[in-house]
Chains A and B, each alone.
Chain A
Amino acid sequence: MSTPGNVVIVGASVAGLTTAVTLRSLGYGGRLTLIGDEPHTPYNRPPLSKQILTGTWEHDRIKLRTDEELDALDAELLFGRSATGLDTVRERVLLDGGDSVPYDSLVIATGVTPRSLPDAHHLAGVHLLRTLDDALALRADLQRRPTVAVVGAGFLGAEAAAAARRMGLDVTMIDPRPVPMRRQFGDRIAGLVGQLHRDNGVSMRCGTGVTRFLSAGGHVTGLELTDGAVLDADLVVVAIGADPSVGWLTESGLGLNNGVECDAACRAAPGVYAAGDVASWYNEHFGARMRLEHRLNATEQAQAVARNLLGDDLPFAPVPYFWTAQYDAHIQAYGVFPADAELAVLHGELDNRHFVVAYGHRGRVVGVLGWNSPREVLKLRQLVADKAAWSSIEGSAPLVGALVGAFGPGG
């Protein structure tokens, strides 16, 4: 393909900004437009559910670039503007003001939108957490020292619960699955996450759903649960997962099945790429289609897209990495964690909360997970990169019964 001369990037969080920065660092000298629907300059999201929520950091601390660095990108920055449509025939992005921007190469990096619950979000005291504004609003409400309920025990819900406990608040976590973070880690490790939260004073209501939000005077006062219990709560965090932000692409003709469908090189159509949480692509390393909502993937995928856009045309085949920090637990994971994987302890012991476990699937090591073992898990990552035979990790003690457990849908 010929080198583009007019690149438009829709989405100005990590993936969008990193695409722009990488294009310039590779010597791209053409036109560059970065469109983002938030009014803020680009910022880093992981601290939103951690240091920003507890008030340890002010929000200036999480800017991805200074204003001077953004100026140096020599890009047209359209922040606080939403893309409303895409015309791939005329090669134009339609904007909320009714105007449009032409491109010859397009990068879609619009991320995800948090799921909401019916008949809940009109109430004061009910929060979602995705953006900086969401985090600042939630922090302000937490500082009123409410009784907190967290609905959803995935990454975000568990981190929000930990932050609220760190602030000394009364916290209940509710999830229809039997243990928190089950979908991410499987039953055995998820059980340890549940114990961690109980040890830190969270009231766990797992295996329970919410049937109704209770309110008085337009403010939430509690939740009615599927087991019939009524829970008092004057602040509720709804953290039940997120969906790819593809509403603006409905008429585009692009494949939109769980995100923007791309090939192994992250290309959705000629001259159109996707990166970050919104992108579904074929990861050749694992021989599987993936869509990841992980911080590092947003960076790595954006870098790959920038290179491919300038002509590399190489598959993006990373070993995914993610982490979560809750209380004193730092959990880091490389690879994938299928429902029917086997587990083996490679380092330490589960009971003392310093360990690395490997996840085996179809005779190969497909994932390693470290709990307060950062150096060890980084070394053992190589087993995933090498697709090591499961039989080669002899000498480690496989967990009895060894099924990781069924994954629940969504969340």
Chain B
Amino acid sequence: MHVTLDQDRCVASGQCVLAAPEVFDQRDDDGVAVLLDDLPSSGLHGEVRRAAAVCPGLAIALAES
């Protein structure tokens, strides 16, 4: 799984951090999401899918092979 994050679409809701804290964080000043790991291990794929599905800004894209 390859994760991409479009920070321009991000609405800083932090839902990705709630869903997958090992893969996403937030910037201190404006809360915009930060991608910690663009190739998460398979054990995290479920969390990352939940993060992408719930993101209200449609900022997270997944490419699954």
Contacts and interface: CB of A to CB of B under 8 A. Distances in A.
A180 B11 CA distance: 22
B18 to A, nearest CB: 7
A374 B56 contact: no
Interface stretch (A278-286, A294-302, A386-394, A400-408): A294-302
Interface residues of A, number: 23
A303 B54 CA distance: 9
Interface string A48-75: 0000000000000110100000000000
B53 A299 contact: yes
Contacts of A21: 53
Interface in A358-382: 372, 374-375, 378
A44 B18 contact: no
A375 B13 CA distance: 9
A378 B11 contact: no
A321 interface: yes
A24 to B, nearest CB: 12
Given A323-B11, A374-B12, A330 B30 contact: yes
B26 A299 contact: no
A378 B54 contact: no
A89 B8 CA distance: 48
B53 A378 contact: no
B14 A374 contact: yes
A28 to B, nearest CB: 15
Contacts of A323: 11-13
Interface string B18-61: 10000000101011000000000000000001000110111000
A332 interface: yes
Given A323-B11, A332-B31, A375-B31, 11 more contacts: A22-B53, A44-B56, A46-B56, A62-B58, A295-B56, A299-B54, A323-B13, A374-B31, A375-B26, A378-B14, A378-B17
A296 B15 contact: yes
A372 B31 CA distance: 9
B26 A378 contact: yes
A321 B58 contact: no
A123 to B, nearest CB: 34
Interface in A289-320: 295-296, 299-300, 303
B62 to A, nearest CB: 12
A299 B14 contact: no
A375 B34 CA distance: 12
Contact of A375 (B28, B53, B54, B56): B28
A299 B56 CA distance: 8
Contacts of A295: 56
6 nearest CB pairs, A to B: A374-B31, A378-B14, A295-B56, A374-B12, A296-B56, A375-B26
A321 B53 contact: no
Contacts of A325: 11
A191 B26 CA distance: 29
A44 B56 CA distance: 8
Contacts of B18: 378
Nearest to B58: A44
Interface string A322-335: 01010000101000
B13 A321 contact: yes
Contacts of A303: 53-54
Contacts of B9: 61
A332 B26 CA distance: 14
Contact of B30 (A22, A25, A44, A374): A374
A18 B56 CA distance: 11
